């Protein structure tokens, strides 16, 4: 199988189901940003972190593939259950959101209370996690805008919102595990 098809040489790309869109279409930007997020999560997972964190990130990456597939599929094909199933596309389950919430609660319970804003950084692994959080927020903004024009499964927005919270708490957990100092942001501090 050839990797290059040349079908996108004029600036369009195909959705699952055959519809072609310009590569700058918001739908393409949305699933492209989800793909970028997934890549950053792979980078975080490749760091020297606990197996529990690696396992959680792997499960999240699998959910992001579902989100990407939903965004990359012609919306008309998703309306018809038989066409959707024939394409092998499944909807995001509410349990995926519950998984994130349970992980957030468990991590947060083991961390010192948050009393200030925290500047990203302190350790390369923590910084990678914060970059992933920011990419997640961009994905959420893109998907939210797409949803306002072409309604999507509501769980997509909820999942991305919860995932950015998860990544913030994971960054704090990693700071703790790596014994990296959390740098508190203090407004109006003179340097």
Domains and CATH numbers, the chain: 22-109+120-183 (1.20.1200.10)
Residue in 129, 106, 108, 117 with CA at minimum distance from that of residue 37: 129
Q: Are strands 183-185 and 117-119 parallel, antiparallel or unpaired?
A: antiparallel
Pair 44, 36: CB distance under 8 Å: no
Lowest-confidence region among 70-74, 78-82, 160-164: 78-82
pLDDT at residue 12, as a whole number: 83
Q: What is the pTM of this model?
A: 0.91
pLDDT tier for residue 11 given thresholds of 50, 70 and 90: confident
Report the C-alpha gap between 154 and 138 in whole angstroms.
17
Q: What is the pLDDT of residue 140?
A: 98
Average pLDDT estimate for 97-102: 98
Q: Is the pLDDT of residue 6 over 90?
A: no
Q: Is the pLDDT of residue 136 over 70?
A: yes
Mean pLDDT over residues 21-25, rounded? 84
Beta bridge partners, 184, equal 118
Say whether pLDDT at 191 is over 60.
no
* Whole-number pLDDT of residue 87: 66
Q: Which residue shows structure tokens 């740098």?
A: 183
pLDDT level of residue 61 (50, 70, 90 thresholds): very high
pLDDT of res. 3: 83
CB neighbour list of residue 134: distance below 8 Å, 6 or more residues apart: none
């Amino acid at each position: 199988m050839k990797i290059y098809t040349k079908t996108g040489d004029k600036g369009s790309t195909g959705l699952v189901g055959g519809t072609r869109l310009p590569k700058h279409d918001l739908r393409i930007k949305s699933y492209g940003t989800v793909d970028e997020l997934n890549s950053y999560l792979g980078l975080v997972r490749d760091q020297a972190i606990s197996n529990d964190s690696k396992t959680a990130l792997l499960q999240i990456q699998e959910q992001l593939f579902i989100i990407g597939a939903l965004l990359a599929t012609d919306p008309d094909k998703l309306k018809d259950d038989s066409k959707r199933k024939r394409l092998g596309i499944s909807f995001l389950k509410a349990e995926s959101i519950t998984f994130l919430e349970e992980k957030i609660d468990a991590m947060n319970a083991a961390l010192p209370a948050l009393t200030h804003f925290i500047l990203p950084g302190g350790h390369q692994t923590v910084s990678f996690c914060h970059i992933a959080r920011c990419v997640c927020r961009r994905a959420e903004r893109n998907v939210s805008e797409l949803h306002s024009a072409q309604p999507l499964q509501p769980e997509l927005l909820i999942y991305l919102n919860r995932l950015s919270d998860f990544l913030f708490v994971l960054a704090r957990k990693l700071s703790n595990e790596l014994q990296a100092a959390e740098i508190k942001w203090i407004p109006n501090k003179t340097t």
